[in-house]
Amino acid sequence: MTYYTSEEYLRRRFEMFGRSCAYCASDPETHKKWHADVSVRLSHAIGLDRCIPVDGAKPRLLDEVRFDGFLRRHYVLETEPTVFMTFYLLVPDHPNGAAMLNPHGHGGAKEACLGFSPDGVTLEHDSFGVELCRRGYYVAAPDARGSGERRERGQQGDGRESQNSHRELLNAYICLGITPIGGMVWDLSRLFDFVASLPDVDPYRIGCAGMSGGGEQTIYFSALDERVALAITSGYFYGFRDALLMQPANCGCNFAPGLYELVDMGDIGAMIAPRPLFIESGVNDRLAGESGIKNVVSQVDVAAAAYENLGARGNIELHVHQGGHVWVGDFMDEFIDRHLS
Ligand SMILES: [Zn+2]
């Protein structure tokens, strides 16, 4: 049978109508104008500007458990009216004044991200977040909308922890002018509000780091909330055409109406400049799409131009490893300590 697919049509549309807000600045002044314009447009595309604040919302402590070197507090916070975000706050025994938000990927939730068993009872391995906490950093790991304790009806239940409701939320949200990634960014900003209010935390030394879907959340959040002092993404800095347009079976939280008409990944990275940005990518990460690591490097080049224009070329780093879609973490500790401690 001959199949008449949409691929070529999509490619052509992407070339014809894509990136109306492509990074185009040549100096700090034009960068500022570009940044102001793209921030408004991207916020609107993902529905961030339509999220509804909750006045005076305070997190409610659900439980706390002591582990070697830190206390784990489990909270719930109302981020929009009737939208509740669950999260863990790892409180270090010896705080150094800095903090890291650590959103998780598409599969799993805050437990898997931090190395806890799915029921949260035992620490199965020392994760990036736990090791960071033992070095003095506060670490806050939320359940994303549609994940963990925030799964919708059809994806709930023990043994189904790796399932999420991101596609279900996408289908429901877009008809209301909002998107899952917009809601996730909003929630991370509310988590930031709380972490910044802690007496042991310097609000100017709070970063965000994540893998895969956690890298996605980190990139959008850091681009749209300028309080984020440092960003680390692993396994998520691909050009949209090969990684998402050509691979539309990816998780629903990747998508937003009109996104490709506005920007590509490198443009979102450029929004983070001049703040420190660490990008980790594997040469065998199939999620990069058919052009592989080239699809990452070309996007890093776009973002790097913004750092160059702002005199901060040393603040963006790309680290390529030989693996696939995995977090490796080489050179991260040094990067974090250099910029946050
Ligand atoms: Zn997702």
| CA 27/CA 7 separation, integer angstroms | 37
pTM: 0.98
**What number is the average pLDDT over the span 131-152?**
98
- Whole-number Å distance, alpha carbon 254 to ligand 1 midpoint, is 6
- Whole-number Å distance, alpha carbon 46 to ligand 1 midpoint, is 14
pLDDT at 222: 98
- Whole-number Å distance, alpha carbon 146 to ligand 1 midpoint, is 8
pLDDT at 96: 98
- The domains located in the chain, with CATH, are 20-340 (3.40.50.1820)
- Whole-number Å distance, alpha carbon 155 to ligand 1 midpoint, is 13
Counts for the chain of helices (H) and strands (E), in that order: 12, 9
Average pLDDT in the chain = 97
- Whole-number Å distance, alpha carbon 52 to ligand 1 midpoint, is 22
pLDDT at 341: 84
Read off the pLDDT of residues 241-286 as tens digits, 9 standing for 90 and up.
999 999 999 999 999 999 999 999 999 999 999 999 999 999 999 9
Read off the pLDDT of residues 148-201 as tens digits, 9 standing for 90 and up.
999 999 999 998 888 999 999 999 999 999 999 999 999 999 999 999 999 999
Read off the pLDDT of residues 321-337 as tens digits, 9 standing for 90 and up.
999 999 999 999 999 99
- Whole-number Å distance, alpha carbon 272 to ligand 1 midpoint, is 22
pLDDT at 161: 84
- Whole-number Å distance, alpha carbon 4 to ligand 1 midpoint, is 29
What is the full DSSP assignment across 127-188? Answer: -HHHHHHHTT-EEEEEPPTTSGGG--GGG-STT-TT---HHHHHHHHGGGT--HHHHHHHHH
- Whole-number Å distance, alpha carbon 276 to ligand 1 midpoint, is 25
pLDDT at 288: 95
pLDDT at 208: 98
